[in-house]
Amino acid sequence: MKHKVLWNIFYGGFGLIFLNLFLRTLFLNYCYDYPLIPVLGCVVCLAGVLLAANFILEKFPVLLQYSNRIFFGGLAVQFMVLLWMGTHLETVGNNDFGSVYHSAETWVLEQRFPEIGYFAIYPNNMGAFLLLKDVFQVMHWMGWRHFFLGGLALNLISIFCAITGVYFLAKKLLGDKAALLSFVAFGSWCPLYFWVAVFYTDMLSLGYIPWVLYFCVKALEASKKTGIFFGVGWWCAACLTAAIGSCIKSVVWIPLIAGFVWLALQLDKKQLAAMVLCAVVLCSGVNGIFQWRVNGWLPAESREKAFPAEHWIMMGLVGDGSYNHADFLLSSSIDSPEERREVARNEIALRLKQRSPAAFWKFLQIKQLRSFGSGNADVHHFLEAGPVHQSIALQLGASYGEYHYIYEYLSQGWLVLMLGSLSCIAAKGIVQEKLKIPLGLCCGAILGLWMFLLIWEAGQRYLIAGIPMMAFVMAAAFGRKAKITKK
């Protein structure tokens, strides 16, 4: 096969990175303190569920003839659970989520934009605001005032797109059994059932991510079967999906970049040149339209208050790499955009210079654990901001809840199992030649997210963007006979 050595180097490096994270998360976690025995117990239980599903599908292969029916039937049950959880975890909102939610609500009801100062600093949240505003406006015209249900509906749509995207991606690359296992892996991710009530950028953008990868697979398939025209058409679909999703959260660009690299290893230069041209035109066009709409809401003097990208890189170089209020105050105190960017760059250079290579290495270990060392996805910060109902769901999700330890152990168990699966899948990618290319797409996107979080501000909830790819990889790790579907 082409680039066999390069693929082996990739999987070797990928395996070392996530084996290191797996071991440190369990035994040398600088950032979080989880009791080992309960977490390992949850790992065993979750692994048992996936192994049992794999065993049943191997023992009764006739079930695979009805894979779509099984999937959509299971999805219907899952959505009833999600709907119940969402309605019982309703919150008045606070933090960034509250600013976006209440700004959309206030505009629809009072035609006021109360948080213009917030969006001037964080224009990256304007996409979520505009989406919620449009949905709330439609609800208002129809006489509905309970806007929380509109946000919940958006989250349910995003989750539906994410789960179906992973299912059809796994079905396309690894077959029916892996597709069903990916559904089990995704469905066993505990934070999903609590984040459903938080319609913030992390969840609203989730549904775009697997479809970007799916369209990349279709682009490769079409390029080899029907020629460059149809291949570029599917690639345009991937670019449009990523460009629209990035208006809500820019991390959606990561799977598109991973998809392009994956395609570049398999297509000729003429096809790649056409794809680059289409990507530039489409992504620039969508971004230009979105910026035009944002500029209509934020006056020029407000846009000058926006924090540059260097601010988050600067913040990611102090403490454990997560949010640092002192850096927020520093950037807020500077009026000029050029000076704000220059100060951030100087601070970045200073913080890099102050650490020896050994100290910087240890800092990177701490920072990656800040994002990958806990599986709770920080959902309790949002659920505790003015809960409307005192339900059993809140007792599970809120940090002060009587049963919160169950949520913590289950979510951490899933994370540890996922990290172990990433480590194992690297060995599978090296040994099984037929799996190098199918596994490489999602593994490349996960590696891209890991690299991004080493540079950017760290945090558990940023891991949400990687959950679709991680569910795919877990399915491949537990599906012992997974192979490329023959057409």
Q: Indicate the domain borders of the chain.
A: 4-478
Mean pLDDT estimate for the chain: 91
Q: What are the residues whose beta carbons fall under 8 Å from the beta carbon of 65, sequence distance 6 or more?
A: none
* pLDDT recorded at residue 480: 56
Longest dimension (CA), the chain: 67
At position 108, the amino acid (one-letter code) is V
* pLDDT recorded at residue 157: 97
Whether the pLDDT of residue 5 is over 80: the answer is yes
Closest of 153, 147, 181 to residue 167, by C-alpha: 181
Contact 485/438 with Cβ under 8 angstroms? Answer: no
Say if residue 62 is exposed, middle or buried (CB neighbours under 10 Å; 0-12, 13-18, 19+).
Answer: exposed
* pLDDT recorded at residue 483: 43
Token pair 């003097």: residue: 301
Q: What is the pLDDT of residues 155-189, one digit of tens each?
A: 999 999 999 999 999 999 999 999 999 999 999 99
Mean of the pLDDT values across residues 425-445?
89
Please report, rounded to a whole number, the percentage of residues in the chain having pLDDT higher than 70.
Answer: 98
Rg (CA), the chain: 22
Q: What is the DSSP letter of 357?
A: H
